[in-house]
A = this chain, B = another copy of it.
Amino acid sequence: MLKLEKLTKVYPARPGEFAGGIRDADIDLSAGTFFTLLGPSGCGKTTTLRCIAGLETPDSGRIIVGGTPLYDRQAGIAVPLHRRNIGMVFQSYAIWPHMSVFENVAFPMRVSKDRRYSGAEIKTAVGEALDIVGLGGYAQRSATQLSGGQQQRVALARAIVHRPKLLLLDEPLSNLDASLREEMRLELKRLQRELGITAVYVTHDQSEALAMSDVIAVIEKGRMVQVGSPRDIYFSPVNEFVAGFVGHTNILRGRVGADGAGVGPCRSVRLEGGGEIRCRARNGVGPDVAISIRPEDIVLDAGAGPAAAADGTQNVLRGEVTAASFLGNVVHYEIRPENSAQIFRVEAAPATPFDLGSAVTMRFPPEAALAVARG
């Protein structure tokens, strides 16, 4: 459905240096895919979106939607944006201040080319859209009288009201509270499934990305470093950056031991800080690796911990609690292991709290530790 080939659009700052944009983006999505662009602020998500929308002219590459090329540098094709039949939510909501909420949402139908909508049709369609975003009562409000979140929701309603084939969403929920955001996620997902819309979704909230997406692309400094399913991205990140960016993790640097010895697929890695750890390894990672251990995979025990830990099946580290922060359903602990400066981050249930300074033992199975490329 959506296909990007070597799509490039960079903003040159001083000659040579890279100021921002997107480089050599390659993507091929089947219809109905929920595709998410994930990446740090300023990495090029919006730029990519704007290129697909036709708001920016790429420097090179091709954009193909449903078989028809929308942009092709060589062939000199560049379909004007209003012919692309795309729904879009702008990061700056771009609500028209001179129109009422209703008019804002109705606009795409009023100007639709494929067919004229009757007043009644528009009224119902807009009504639905507003209900979906939870602004039922606000139709007649002037757009200037809305709160930030409400404006954002109007933008969303405007993007979905005419059921486009392709939906581009630039952080559409960033200003909504958790529960509302969740509601809207579900609504969006439902809509997208029912109508078989292909959605390109920009978010900075990884849990959102993991929960909603069929495919995720992680962008770093304008390059797509990994494209894959949520579980791929989360459980087998290609490198340190992805591992660190998607979800919290503890990164240890080390060198794969010369002997590939170990139980099953396990490797043993000699840590820079000293000490050794047994872990899975992405195949093909060179001797110098970064090891990622998710906080939630580490089990905390008070003091020396149970004898069970003694046997060689698990990695065991002793340390001391240096910080704890309460997040409701979990508590984040920071733990300094003996003989290493590297602070560990561990999640545990709030039921049995550990005090600051108390000695603890960290346990995690080799499967929970993954060796990936550095950088």
Contact = CB atoms under 8 A, between A and B. Distances in A.
Interface of A: 11, 13, 19-20, 38-42, 46, 91-92, 141, 145-150, 153, 170-171, 174-181, 204-207, 210-211, 230-231, 234, 244-248, 294-296, 325-330, 347, 349
A141 B295 CA distance: 38
7 contacts: A39-B177, A41-B147, A42-B146, A42-B149, A178-B245, A179-B244, A234-B328
Contacts of A295: 329
Given A177-B245, A244-B179, A328 B206 contact: yes
A178 B153 contact: no
B175 A41 contact: yes
A329 B296 contact: yes
This protein's copies in its complex: 2
A206 B92 CA distance: 23
A285 to B, nearest CB: 22
B179 A205 contact: no
Contact of A175 (B145, B171, B206, B325): B171
Contact of A326 (B171, B181, B211): B211
A12 B349 CA distance: 45
A174 B20 CA distance: 21
A329 B149 contact: no
Contacts of A38: 177
B230 A296 contact: no
A349 to B, nearest CB: 7
B147 A20 contact: yes
A322 to B, nearest CB: 14
Contacts of A176: 41, 204
A327 B231 CA distance: 10
B175 A349 contact: no
Interface centre among A41, A147, A153 (most CB of B within 10 A): A41
A296 B210 contact: no
A40 B347 contact: no
B177 A204 contact: yes
A208 B295 CA distance: 18
Residue of A147, A150, A170 with most partner-chain B CB within 10 A:
A147
Contacts of A328: 206-207, 210, 234, 246-247, 294
Contact of A327 (B41, B210, B349): B210
A327 B207 contact: yes
A325 B141 CA distance: 37
A94 to B, nearest CB: 12
Nearest to A135: B42
Contacts of A92: 92, 148
